[in-house]
Structure 1
């Protein structure tokens, strides 16, 4: 027994002395050193925080290569977020010096080589967010540690410009916009050029992102500038076809911003905007967080991508041929729209307050206003068809969430999946819906007991938070997290979420132009969680019936 104890101590000490680490890494900008941490027996990880992938960006300019540095860059601290409004829209935070990325590299017995790479693009309505995510007791939401360790992949997270500084456009060459998308592109290109030095495979890069980050991932697959930079992509709760993802009247918004910051709206407008204090510009792009059924918050998300003839040479729906050889997963949370409709119609979260049927009509009128009364009548008939003569309050409240989910997220995502599958050559297509109930739903809780998966509920599971903070979760949540990490990282390795190093609970079939099969992701999932034609009646209404109605003359 004593001999065994001595042997174990010797083995442990040898592992400590010879901890696997990249040490100092040579990048195109210079040398970098991160932090090496021990995760377990013969398991280590190198973490690099705050590596610049571009120089400090010029105001309303696409990024440029970083000039480099002398000596060894100490990459152990997150850098500031890009300049943005705070969550209350009352002030700003962050910096214009924000084009940095973070890298997590797992190691086993030896230093890793040729690992698959997963590049994360955060969401936040193109207004807020950061490469590290929200922080609670030094536990950052977008820490790539759990994914990298459990999936044996390299994880990269990046920063990009937001709000006015990232997306303001005049709709012409004087201020073309899409600066935040260009930042993402430059970061992805930097990863492609440099990741081999970190033990990654530059020919096996997967983009993944959520909400505006999911739409950004889709934009990156559609732009002709991305050809050859990555092989796979995952869009969670957001695609380029979402109603908030593209601004088709950017000049009007630019003039509104200009007036707010005391700039003229004539030929000197752009020069004036470039000279305006960046914090003033950023605040001018804030939105009113109080919505209503007549003026839904989603309609205020106007700082977005533009059809600039360069990064996006055409309407997104006409660019899916550029993603023909990209493997693609896209999906939705079953109550993604709740985050918006709960603000537009607050009574849906209050069991003591009735939600009138008229609120359903008001919300539908807002979403279908271009089609006038015919649009509203068709929409209401579609959503009330299974109500019966006396719908319950639960039915009415859930219908409002379903309407928001369909219009803002689900239908555009299904359309993107159809287009990807129809244009694919070698690229495979997969569809999912997350249905795990929100943890704040139930009696004496903020949300109703019928609550499903709200917007952003997927993030905690993809990033392994039930393992990072186990006391905050039940075992079923750890099961769900392990399922999502398995599907996501298997896909990053092979292009097939079922094939890789990690076991999955059931086979996820491909989405095809004829089959339309999808996977329902849930902590209880098994083979019965494979379905077909997600909410097909409502997809048909928004994608076919409504667009074919004549526009309203009012």
Structure 2
């Protein structure tokens, strides 16, 4: 019996190998590229291209330009350097200025694929760090597109863009307007649109998706007139252009601070000097102060971010939603997105042996409300503590801090964006979600929900590629998210496509501003409506009614 089984397996392998479909060398606008192909299952294969240049090595504080091309066949078999950035401890610099490369995963069957939907991912990292491949553990890269491509039958693209000082420093005028990282993203999206047909993709069915700063970048890209006609669908996971950290309102001030750090003048010679400064020195000067407290929250230190430059972003984000009127859009947050920020501002949040004080919550409320003054800060504190009673538990206090930071930093701006997209939509559809699968971190409190970035492991199918690290319920979450995401990329409707889904996800505006609660045990009760309406009303109406405090 075993001998017969062995013969059968050998025959299956021979047949599969004989019928293996692969693109081989592909012609692009820069020249020929050769990736690698491998089997991902019976009669299923994956072509992988890593390190294809989509622009030339960029000039310092300048927009990207087209790559001059190459002779012969470019071996696209390894990730290239990330763009120059601070290391995780913000004590040194990693990466290179020569970093504008992308990676492509193309699923194949017994014949070479054609006309596939295309999904282009934009990584997060506070506009300060990150890369096209993401974090790596034993060659298991977070942003490996294979599981999405194989399970959803879509092409997946990831790419690098400039971050930190080299990507987002702005002089506040035409000399160095900023947004170089956004221009890099646009260059990558444009390259995909022009070249993806040669890889079997449909350039007229292109979805961009991203998380955190990458999610805000997705929003910026669909709002910018520069991308008209290039993008057809979009997904923002925990970040939008309206987030308080997404736009730098004082770029000149921050540029002068960096110039002073590196020994450049702050007058008319500043930009020329900055362009001649050693790039590592310039990157280190864009360091973030992680010494935060309730009265100095981390969200106020994220200054290297996009600016309203009159070019890529010709106006305030909320005025540009007409540009996204025909783009289908999924937007959502994690139910405790603010936890990662809250633990930096108030470390006792994660310490079961240390209590969090009422005074810390009051100080944080006032600090997050500083743009509207002390009266607004007191109103914020009262709004978030109204349900405490006279003797709140330590758990109640800690959860309040997480709710406060989640709402201010992520959830309320996301809800405002949902309304704006839905109100301006012509043919574009709008979908809202809340991701609530509890964090897998064992050191977190028992009441913990989904922290910031917890969704990424599921979207990229890690419970399938590293099964020993997960339970079956986690594979359910990954299956659901990949199915919704790739159906959406195929059809513009997350319910319709090649993959089955656990429950029908209604459009946001179809009846009562509905959203989908995504977790491991989804059913019809997972469709809900009016997400955190009291908090949304507070921030968008009550808080917004306080006069703006102008800084000196």
- Give the TM-score category using the shorter length: over 0.9
Query: Shift of residue 505 of structure 1?
Result: 0.8
Query: Shift of residue 146 of structure 1?
Result: 0.4
Partner of 2:153: 152
1:183-226: CA deviations, max 9, x gaps? Answer: 00000000000000000000000000000000000000000010
Note if contact 1:204-1:493 (Cα within 8 Å) is conserved in structure 2.
yes
Partner of 1:439: 440
User: Could you say what secondary structure the match of 1:259 adopts?
Assistant: helix
Find the aligned partners of 1:300 and 1:11 in 2 and give their Cα distance. Answer: 58
1:216-265: CA deviations, max 9, x gaps? Answer: 00000000010110100000000000000000110000000000000000
Comparing 473-482 with 287-296, which one deviates more in the overlay? Answer: 287-296
Note if contact 2:432-2:514 (Cα within 8 Å) is conserved in structure 1.
yes
Find the aligned partners of 1:205 and 1:439 in 2 and give their Cα distance. Answer: 32
Partner of 1:257: 258
Note if contact 2:365-2:378 (Cα within 8 Å) is conserved in structure 1.
no
Find the aligned partners of 2:550 and 2:104 in 1 and give their Cα distance. Answer: 53
Matched, 1:163 2:160: no
User: Could you say what secondary structure the match of 1:202 adopts?
Assistant: strand
Partner of 1:546: 543
CA distance 1:309–1:107, shift in 2 (3 Å): same
User: Could you say what secondary structure the match of 1:457 adopts?
Assistant: coil
Note if contact 1:422-1:513 (Cα within 8 Å) is conserved in structure 2.
no
Query: Shift of residue 290 of structure 1?
Result: 2.4
1:408-449: CA deviations, max 9, x gaps? Answer: 000001111110000000000000011111111xxxx42111
Find the aligned partners of 2:317 and 2:302 in 1 and give their Cα distance. Answer: 18
Partner of 1:38: 39
Find the aligned partners of 2:12 and 2:317 in 1 and give their Cα distance. Answer: 56
How many residues align? The count is 550
Q: Any residues of structure 2 matched to 1:186-197 within 5 Å, and which?
A: 186-197=187-198
Q: Any residues of structure 2 matched to 1:261-272 within 5 Å, and which?
A: 261-272=262-273
Query: Shift of residue 3 of structure 1?
Result: 7.7
Q: Any residues of structure 2 matched to 1:10-21 within 5 Å, and which?
A: 10-21=11-22
Partner of 1:328: 329
Note if contact 2:206-2:231 (Cα within 8 Å) is conserved in structure 1.
yes
Partner of 2:84: 83
Q: Any residues of structure 2 matched to 1:196-345 within 5 Å, and which?
A: 196-345=197-346
Partner of 2:515: 518
Partner of 2:183: 182
Query: Shift of residue 106 of structure 1?
Result: 0.4
Find the aligned partners of 1:553 and 1:300 in 2 and give their Cα distance. Answer: 18
Query: Shift of residue 373 of structure 1?
Result: 2.5
Note if contact 2:152-2:482 (Cα within 8 Å) is conserved in structure 1.
yes
Partner of 2:467: 470
Partner of 2:102: 101
Partner of 1:51: 52
Note if contact 1:418-1:513 (Cα within 8 Å) is conserved in structure 2.
no
Partner of 2:495: 498
Structure 1: where are the runs of 5+ without partners? Answer: none
Structure 2: where are the runs of 5+ without partners? Answer: none
Q: Any residues of structure 2 matched to 1:390-429 within 5 Å, and which?
A: 390-429=391-430
Partner of 1:110: 111
Find the aligned partners of 2:364 and 2:5 in 1 and give their Cα distance. Answer: 71
Q: 1:458 aligns with which of 417, 437, 455?
A: 455
Partner of 1:25: 26
1:83-139: CA deviations, max 9, x gaps? Answer: 000010000000000000000000111110000000000000000000000000100
User: Could you say what secondary structure the match of 2:373 adopts?
Assistant: helix
Comparing 135-144 with 289-298, which one deviates more in the overlay? Answer: 289-298
Query: Shift of residue 11 of structure 1?
Result: 4.1
Q: Stretches of 4+ moved more than 3 A in 1? A: 1-11, 551-554
Query: Shift of residue 78 of structure 1?
Result: 0.2
Note if contact 1:240-1:316 (Cα within 8 Å) is conserved in structure 2.
yes
Find the aligned partners of 2:321 and 2:533 in 1 and give their Cα distance. Answer: 22
Q: 1:482 aligns with which of 475, 479, 482?
A: 479
Partner of 2:531: 534
User: Could you say what secondary structure the match of 1:342 adopts?
Assistant: helix
Comparing 524-533 with 85-94, which one deviates more in the overlay? Answer: 524-533
Note if contact 2:19-2:43 (Cα within 8 Å) is conserved in structure 1.
no
Query: Shift of residue 531 of structure 1?
Result: 0.8
Q: 2:446 aligns with which of 441, 444, 449?
A: 449
Query: Shift of residue 74 of structure 1?
Result: 0.3
CA distance 1:290–1:446, shift in 2 (3 Å): farther
Find the aligned partners of 1:202 and 1:310 in 2 and give their Cα distance. Answer: 25
1:473-504: CA deviations, max 9, x gaps? Answer: 00000000000000000000000001111111
Query: Shift of residue 551 of structure 1?
Result: 3.3
User: Could you say what secondary structure the match of 1:547 adopts?
Assistant: helix
